[in-house]
């Protein structure tokens, strides 16, 4: 009896220790980021936790100087646009992969998945040249298009699982009940794939939001995203770590908020579709 | 209210021929049963009529109109799917209400409510209306699916094993209920089953299907008493019919089961066999058509051993080994017998069916026309 309780206690203690260690490991960089965003440049290198907090960095980044706000808006446009385009293309594509048999189906599905394998830096040079030639360089659409490499595979593969889980007969039954195909889609299919739709769209949005290589090389000064804009604070003489921290912290904010709101959907949405009944 | 006709329907899935030249006609208000083993093509036929599978060849007609190019929704057909095909995100109520809320069969919510409750109480699921399909049992799901089908007044009801997953008691109840509903609705029904009792009790006519071909279409009596071939005979009835070879000695005398003495076949049967020039003959006897006794009552009784005794409630299936031929027969449930006991059986020649030993097709049985009530 005593031995059991001791064992339980030991188990609990060790479990919590591991969790605590991991939390520190995971969260500390973020805390560090937030701390330095309140430091002035002079105190950057000679203080750790004790310093005079200042909002100067926020003031400079958000209200003065470079167009950080514009970059933020640009990011919303290209990431949001990329996800919307992916939805438009990916939902029918996922449906086709789940329902129809056509030649080379699995090869095509794998090709789409493999978009995610290739390092971005590998394809960026030819893309850069093509974009220059056809005038997509430094445009919203150019970025939205290239972001499909990031967002589309995810969406298609998650939703395909969801569609496969819905039996064909359910669609056929709705059809016989007197619903035309578009009503079947909106009234029957969309509610059933919603968890997957929400989760994969959000994840795709976050990936697109964080993308750095593509916007760095495929856009110039017209369209700058937050990830690229953060580079600006590396001056020729000094690095403004404080301002850079602000830029990064603000850039991460929408993701954190979105993820918190739909945290539950995110985990269930991504795991549910993968399990075949 | 509709007549359904299928002409030369052929359907292939890859190399597999699912339907091979299917032809039949279902009369208005008829209860037509498609009966066959798993994988025979029954469901494919239903789906072809519904328009959710397309035949490679052939023609589907509803009320004398070719509907090959008419989409499923416009055919005005109501179907029960074998896997229920309920909408998982809608409650039982909304599932049943679904046909009445579609653009094609729109009803006002007042009527919807009334109809849903009427059907639900008929299906005995009125206490479950708020639940999701995942929260009810399989039998209840099946009844929900049936309800969704019956809530409309379509051209034709297509039912794919609608009561196969219910427990035995409920199944018997629903069978009777369906029969009654059918006469009440006055609607053509095509019903798929693999249970011969359902087929016989419900069907005005029965089509027996195997491997994508129709083997026989006829009334319950026709397919039970005069099956088109040995497959049909074996598939209808429990225990399985006994079929074995017999030797023709001359026109009326046959030898069987390794016995010395000869048996006489009925004159009308002998005549048909002679006319058809059948060389090899097989005889078919249902479980009831063999008498048994533990004493050799007369010359006709053949000696055998009890092979197995299987009581199934109101009767007992008795398997007797006669010179290596196992015969299944029906005995009263109070039968006292031990394995390897000596037993005597008598073949009722008047009840026997005769099959051709070469192509396994049905030849004739004694008094066939009187049995079927035809001239």
Residue A24 lies in a domain: no
| SS3 state of residue B4 | strand
* CATH (domain of B364): 2.40.50.140
Residues B17 and B46 in one domain: yes
In chain B, % of residues over pLDDT 90: 19
> Cα distance from A98 to chain B (closest Cα, Å)?
17
Residue A25 lies in a domain: no
Residue B87 in this model has a pLDDT that exceeds 70: yes
Q: Which residue of A has its CA nearest to B157?
A: A176
Higher pLDDT, B300 or B319: B319
Phi, psi of B325 (to 5 degrees): -95, 120
Q: Please tell me if residue B105 touches chain A, with a CB cutoff of 8 Å.
A: yes
* CATH (domain of B160): 3.40.50.300
CA atoms within 13 A on the CB side of B264: 5
Residues B86 and B220 in one domain: yes
Domain's final residue, options B206, B228, B250: B228
pLDDT in tens, A73-120: 889 999 999 999 999 999 999 999 999 988 898 999 998 888 888 788
**What pLDDT does residue A15 have?**
94
Contact list, A180 vs chain B (CB under 8 Å): 73, 103
Residue A15 lies in a domain: no
Closest CB to B99: pick one of A172, A177, A191: A177
Q: Report d(CA A211, CA A150) in Å as an integer.
A: 9
* CATH (domain of A221): 1.10.3720.10
**What pLDDT does residue A92 have?**
94
Nearest to B285 by CA among B365, B215, B207: B365
Widest pairwise Cα distance in chain B: 78
Domain extent, residue A260, equals 55-272
Q: Please tell me if residue B14 touches chain A, with a CB cutoff of 8 Å.
A: no
Residues B19 and B53 in one domain: yes
Band (pLDDT 50/70/90 cuts) for residue B117 is very high
Q: Which residue of A has its CA nearest to B158?
A: A176
Residues B34 and B144 in one domain: yes
Q: What does pTM read for this prediction? A: 0.79
In this structure, the strands spanning B325-332 and B253-255 are unpaired
Residues B58 and B133 in one domain: yes
Band (pLDDT 50/70/90 cuts) for residue A272 is low
Contact list, B50 vs chain A (CB under 8 Å): 172, 176
Best residue in B98, B107, B145 to probe A by mutation, most A CBs within 10 Å? B98
Q: Report d(CA B218, CA A190) in Å as an integer.
A: 46
Residue A42 lies in a domain: no
Contact list, B102 vs chain A (CB under 8 Å): 177-179, 183
Read off the pLDDT of each residue in A61-83 and give the average, rounded to a whole number.
Answer: 86
Residues 6 or more apart from B25 whose CB is under 8 A from it?
B3, B4, B5, B6
Residues B191 and B155 in one domain: yes
| SS3 state of residue B228 | coil
Q: DSSP string covering chain A, please?
A: -HHHHHHHHHHHHHHHHHHHHHHHHHHHHHHHHHHHHTS-GGGTTT-SS-----SHHHHHHHHSSS-HHHHHHHHHHHHHHHHHHHHHHHHHHHHHHHH---TTHHHHHHHHHHTTTS-HHHHHHHHHHHHHHHT-TT-HHHHHHHHHHHHHHHHHHHHHHHHHHS-HHHHHHHHHTT--HHHIIIIIIHHHHHHHHHHHHHHHHHHHHH--HHHHHH--SSS--HHHHGGGGB-SS-B-HHHHHHHHHHHHHHHHHHHHHTHHHHHHHHHHTTS--
Domain's final residue, options B228, B253, B282: B228
Domain's final residue, options B196, B228, B260: B228
Residues 6 or more apart from A107 whose CB is under 8 A from it?
none
> Cα distance from B32 to chain A (closest Cα, Å)?
20
**What pLDDT does residue B176 have?**
84
Residues 6 or more apart from A21 whose CB is under 8 A from it?
none
Cβ-defined contact of A167 to B47 (cutoff 8 Å) = no
Higher pLDDT, A118 or A71: A71
Task: State the angle between helix axes of A105-114 and A68-99 in degrees (0 to 180), rounded to the nearest 10.
Answer: 160
Residues B278 and B323 in one domain: yes
Residue A47 lies in a domain: no
Band (pLDDT 50/70/90 cuts) for residue B1 is low
Residues B119 and B183 in one domain: yes
Helix (H) or strand (E) holding B95: helix B92-101
Best residue in B43, B53, B73, B103 to probe A by mutation, most A CBs within 10 Å? B73
Q: Report d(CA B333, CA B141) in Å as an integer.
A: 36
Residue A125 lies in a domain: yes
Residue A49 lies in a domain: no
Q: Report d(CA B330, CA B345) in Å as an integer.
A: 12
In chain A, % of residues over pLDDT 90: 29
Q: Which residue of B has its CA nearest to A193?
A: B89
CA A59 to chain centre: 27
Best residue in A102, A165, A169 to probe B by mutation, most B CBs within 10 Å? A169
Angle at B158 between CA B154 and CA B160, to 5 degrees: 150
Residue A198 in this model has a pLDDT that exceeds 60: yes
Q: Please tell me if residue B81 touches chain A, with a CB cutoff of 8 Å.
A: yes
| SS3 state of residue B238 | coil
Nearest to B75 by CA among B183, B181, B161, B152: B152
Band (pLDDT 50/70/90 cuts) for residue B183 is confident
**What pLDDT does residue B375 have?**
58
| Total domains present in chain A | 1
C-beta separation of A164 from A98 below 8 A: yes
Residues B186 and B65 in one domain: yes
In this structure, the strands spanning B205-210 and B31-35 are parallel
Q: Report d(CA A206, CA A155) in Å as an integer.
A: 13
Give buried/exposed letters for A110-134 (b at 16+ CB in 10 A, else e): eebeebeeeebeeebeebeeebeee
> Which residues, listed in sequence order, are joined to residue B364 by a DSSP beta bridge?
B354
**What pLDDT does residue B171 have?**
85
Q: Which residue of A has its CA nearest to B152?
A: A177
Nearest to A124 by CA among A135, A114, A137, A134: A137
What is the average pLDDT value for chain B, to the nearest integer?
87
Residues B311 and B224 in one domain: no
Residues B316 and B191 in one domain: no
Residue A175 lies in a domain: yes
**What pLDDT does residue B263 have?**
83
Residue A66 in this model has a pLDDT that exceeds 70: no
Cβ-defined contact of A172 to B78 (cutoff 8 Å) = no
Residues B265 and B175 in one domain: no
Q: Which residue of A has its CA nearest to B81?
A: A169
> Cα distance from A180 to chain B (closest Cα, Å)?
7
- The contacts found for A23-32 with CB under 8 angstroms, 24 or more apart, are none
The size of the A-B interface in CB pairs under 8 A is 59
Closest CB to B50: pick one of A167, A176, A183: A176
**What pLDDT does residue A275 have?**
38
Cβ-defined contact of B87 to A174 (cutoff 8 Å) = yes
Domain extent, residue B29, equals 4-228
How many other CB atoms are there within 10 angstroms of residue A250's CB atom?
A: 18
| Total domains present in chain B | 2
pLDDT in tens, A147-188: 999 899 999 988 998 899 888 889 999 999 889 889 999 988
């Amino acid at each position: 009896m005593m031995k059991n309780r001791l064992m339980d206690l030991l188990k609990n203690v060790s479990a919590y220790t591991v969790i605590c260690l991991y939390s520190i490991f995971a969260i500390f960089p973020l805390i560090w980021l937030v701390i330095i965003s309140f430091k002035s440049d002079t105190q950057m290198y000679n203080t750790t936790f004790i310093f005079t907090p200042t909002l100067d960095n926020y003031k400079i980044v958000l209200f003065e100087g470079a167009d950080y706000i514009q970059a933020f808006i640009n990011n919303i446009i290209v990431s949001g646009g990329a996800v919307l385009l992916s939805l438009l293309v990916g939902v029918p594509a996922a449906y086709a992969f789940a329902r129809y048999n056509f030649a080379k189906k699995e090869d095509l599905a794998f090709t789409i998945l493999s978009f995610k394998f290739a390092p971005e830096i590998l394809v960026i040079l030819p893309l850069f040249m093509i974009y220059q030639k056809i005038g997509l360089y430094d445009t919203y659409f150019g970025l939205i298009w290239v972001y499909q490499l990031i967002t589309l595979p995810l969406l298609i593969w998650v939703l395909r699982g969801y569609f496969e889980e819905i039996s064909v007969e359910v669609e056929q039954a709705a059809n016989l009940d007197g619903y035309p195909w578009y009503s079947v889609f909106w009234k029957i299919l969309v509610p059933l794939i919603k968890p997957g739709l929400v989760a994969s769209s959000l994840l795709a949005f976050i990936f697109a939001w964080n993308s750095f290589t593509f916007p760095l090389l495929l856009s110039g000064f017209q369209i700058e995203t937050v990830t690229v804009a953060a580079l600006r604070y590396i001056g020729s003489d000094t690095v403004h770590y404080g301002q850079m921290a602000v830029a990064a912290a603000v850039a991460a904010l929408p993701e954190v908020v979105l993820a918190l709101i739909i945290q539950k959907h995110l985990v269930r949405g991504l795991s549910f579709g993968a399990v075949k009944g | 209210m509709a007549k359904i006709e299928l002409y030369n329907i052929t359907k292939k899935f890859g190399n597999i021929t699912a339907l091979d030249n299917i032809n039949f006609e279902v009369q208005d208000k008829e209860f037509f049963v498609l009966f066959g083993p798993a994988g025979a093509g029954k469901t494919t036929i239903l789906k072809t009529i519904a328009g959710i599978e397309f035949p490679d060849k052939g023609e589907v007609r509803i009320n004398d109109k070719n509907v090959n190019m008419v989409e499923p929704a416009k055919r005005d057909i109501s179907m029960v799917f074998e896997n229920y095909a309920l909408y998982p995100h809608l409650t039982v109520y909304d599932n049943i209400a679904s046909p009445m809320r579609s653009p094609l069969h729109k009803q006002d919510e007042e009527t919807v409510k009334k109809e849903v409750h009427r059907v639900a109480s008929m299906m005995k699921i009125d206490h479950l209306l708020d639940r999701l399909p995942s929260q009810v049992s399989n039998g209840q799901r099946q009844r929900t699916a049936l309800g969704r089908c019956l809530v409309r007044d379509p051209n034709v009801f297509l039912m794919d094993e609608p009561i196969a997953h219910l427990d035995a008691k409920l199944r018997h109840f629903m069978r009777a209920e369906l029969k009654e509903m059918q006469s009440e609705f006055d609607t053509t029904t095509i019903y798929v089953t693999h249970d011969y009792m359902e087929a016989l009790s419900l069907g005005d006519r029965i089509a027996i299907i195997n491997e994508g071909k129709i083997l026989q279409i006829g009334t319950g009596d026709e397919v039970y008493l005069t099956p088109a071939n040995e497959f049909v005979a074996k598939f209808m009835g429990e225990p399985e019919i006994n079929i074995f070879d017999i030797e023709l000695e001359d026109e009326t005398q046959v030898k069987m089961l390794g016995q010395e003495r000869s048996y006489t076949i009925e004159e009308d049967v002998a005549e048909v066999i002679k006319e058809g020039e059948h060389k090899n003959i097989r005889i078919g006897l249902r479980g009831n058509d063999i008498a048994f006794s533990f004493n050799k009552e007369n010359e006709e009784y053949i000696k055998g051993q009890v092979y197995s005794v299987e009581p199934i409630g109101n009767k007992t299936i008795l398997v007797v080994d006669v010179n290596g031929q196992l015969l299944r027969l029906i005995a009263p449930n109070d039968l006292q017998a031990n394995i390897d006991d000596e037993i005597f059986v008598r073949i009722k020649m008047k009840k026997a069916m005769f099959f051709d030993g070469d192509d396994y097709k049905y030849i004739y049985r004694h008094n066939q026309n009187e049995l079927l009530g035809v001239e």
